[in-house]
Amino acid sequence: MLWIGVSIGIAGCRESAEITRYSIPKTASEERANAESVRLLAAMAPRAADVWFLKLTAADSAVQKASAPFREIARSFSLDAAGEPTWTLPAGWEELPGDAIRFKTLRTVQDGARLDVSVTKLPLPAGDLNDYLLANVNRWRGQIGLPALVAEQLRAELESLTASDGGPVFVCDYRGAAPP
């Protein structure tokens, strides 16, 4: 009997086992695989000492319907006498004022999704235009999880348009993953 009492006493002194819960974060590649596909459309219009940029990034399905109108805007690009850009907006698009960074915002709604095209201007640095275009293309590709291009790949990746003012407009169109 004494033995049973000691056994019960020892068993009752043990601490109860606790259940531990924890989360393991996903890797960046797992997050990209699960992220919604995004599409990035960008146009670069070098003029004199500046480059004008038009950029749209949104869900691939929403951008699909805006792709042709985006290119229409890029083709209609020109600079007025004051050096400010002008374009012809397709039906259903509106022009909104800019801010400290954006010159303007061009907006449309496709399938219930609001799409904003940012219009910005940066000075064209001294040097080769292709190097500058490549740097911007690679920055955008990195934003949507795509690998960088090398210089020899650039021209095959860009669609060259002629704007209404006769100048070039270079368009890139990429699909990738939303940033984490």
DSSP string, 31-51: HHHHSPEEEEEEEEEEETTEE
C-beta separation of 59 from 39 below 8 A? yes
pLDDT of 112: 85
Chain centre distance of CA 165: 28
pTM summary value: 0.78
Residue 104 or residue 32, greater confidence: 104
* Cα distance between residue 156 and residue 34, in whole Å: 29
108-146 residues labelled b (16+ CB within 10 A) or e (exposed): bebeeeebebbbebeeeeeeeeeebbbebbbebbebbbb
Report the run of H or E that residue 63 belongs to, with start and end.
helix 60-64
Q: What is the mean pLDDT of residues 35-60?
A: 92
* Cα distance between residue 129 and residue 51, in whole Å: 10
pLDDT of 32: 47
Q: How many CA atoms lie within 13 A of 113 on its CB side?
A: 16
Phi, psi of 91 (to 5 degrees): -55, 135
C-beta separation of 151 from 131 below 8 A? yes
pLDDT tens per residue across span 107-166 = 999 888 899 999 999 999 988 999 999 999 999 999 999 999 999 999 999 999 999 999
* Cα distance between residue 38 and residue 59, in whole Å: 4
Q: How many CA atoms lie within 13 A of 180 on its CB side?
A: 11
Percent of the chain with pLDDT over 90: 68
pLDDT of 67: 94
Mean pLDDT, the chain, rounded, equals 86
pLDDT at 17 > cutoff 60: yes
* Cα distance between residue 88 and residue 29, in whole Å: 40
